């Protein structure tokens, strides 16, 4: 960024031995002053605007093309991810259209039914908030869950046992907190309380089997009995995926308790 030029006033008087009384003064009788202060202020404002614009452009480019940072606000992904964990969500694989695999942890905007039917807002401030993630702009909640069902998969959940994919029990011993405390056999079984507290049943009383449609995913939290996921709001459109969790870079750890010091007088 180039430094601003300092402009001097052409009305600045130059004293000379032959100057007549009153020369070099303005109409108010005050000596003319250089306009350096005003020009410097304008230059500062220009540089400030340029700095803000460049920062926003870089922020949007990095956040859209490469990655963004997110934090975990709930316990739905315990024990894998804990409350207040900070992680990096990468976007490159999505732009390269790399296939999503079962077991991937994705960050996404939940279906509208989970948010009381409200779709993502397209007003300028909301769009800028999604692009930059700046805290003073409108915020739209995002979820983080694990991919359990891929397009074409037949999903069935048996209480106290686990998740069956195409008739086979899925081995989730490496990441789940506990086994599910509910059954899920048919589309009509999907439902529950949304994040707004509303009781939802996205597929009504449908007796159809739970088969993931093309372009959609079946998402679940590792904390199966404390997670608002696909067993509540149904399938996730892949167009709502923000990115994949790739790096946990900060975790709050409780300091170890100090041993109790015995009072020598007792």
Q: Which residues are catalytic?
A: 76, 145
Long-range contacts of 42-50 (CB under 8 A, 24+ apart): 42/4, 43/3, 43/4, 43/5, 43/6, 44/4, 46/4, 47/1, 47/3, 47/4, 50/1
248 and 86 in contact (C-beta within 8 Å)? Answer: yes
Beta strands in 104-181 (DSSP E): 105-108, 143-149, 154-158, 162-165, 168-169
Report the distance separating Cα 93 and Cα 84, nearest Å: 25
> What are the φ and ψ backbone dihedral angles of 69, each rounded to 5 degrees?
-95, 145
188 and 214 in contact (C-beta within 8 Å)? Answer: no
Place of tokens 């990115």: 243
């Amino acid at each position: 960024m180039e430094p601003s030029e300092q402009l001097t006033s052409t009305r600045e008087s130059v004293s000379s031995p032959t100057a007549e009384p009153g020369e070099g003064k303005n109409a108010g009788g005050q000596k003319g002053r250089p306009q350096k202060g005003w020009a410097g202020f304008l230059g500062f404002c220009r540089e400030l605007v340029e700095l803000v614009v460049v920062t926003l452009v870089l922020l949007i480019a990095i956040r859209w093309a490469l990655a963004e940072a997110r934090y975990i606000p709930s316990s739905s992904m315990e024990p894998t991810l804990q409350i207040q964990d900070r992680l990096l969500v990468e976007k490159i694989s999505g732009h390269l259209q790399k296939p999503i695999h079962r077991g991937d942890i994705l960050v996404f905007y939940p279906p509208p039914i989970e948010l009381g039917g409200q779709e993502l807002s397209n007003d300028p401030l909301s769009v800028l908030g999604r692009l930059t993630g700046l805290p003073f702009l409108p915020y739209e909640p995002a979820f983080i869950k694990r991919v359990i069902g891929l397009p074409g998969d037949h999903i069935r959940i048996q209480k106290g046992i686990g998740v069956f994919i195409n008739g086979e029990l899925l081995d989730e011993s490496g990441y789940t907190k506990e086994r599910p405390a509910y059954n899920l056999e048919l589309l009509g079984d999907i439902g529950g309380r949304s994040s707004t507290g509303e009781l939802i049943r996205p597929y009504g009383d449908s007796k159809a089997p739970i088969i993931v449609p093309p372009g959609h995913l079946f998402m679940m939290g590792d904390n199966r009995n404390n997670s608002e996921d696909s067993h509540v709001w149904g399938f996730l459109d892949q167009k709502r995926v923000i990115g994949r969790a790739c790096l946990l870079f900060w975790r709050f750890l409780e300091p170890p308790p100090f041993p109790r010091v015995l009072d020598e007088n007792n």
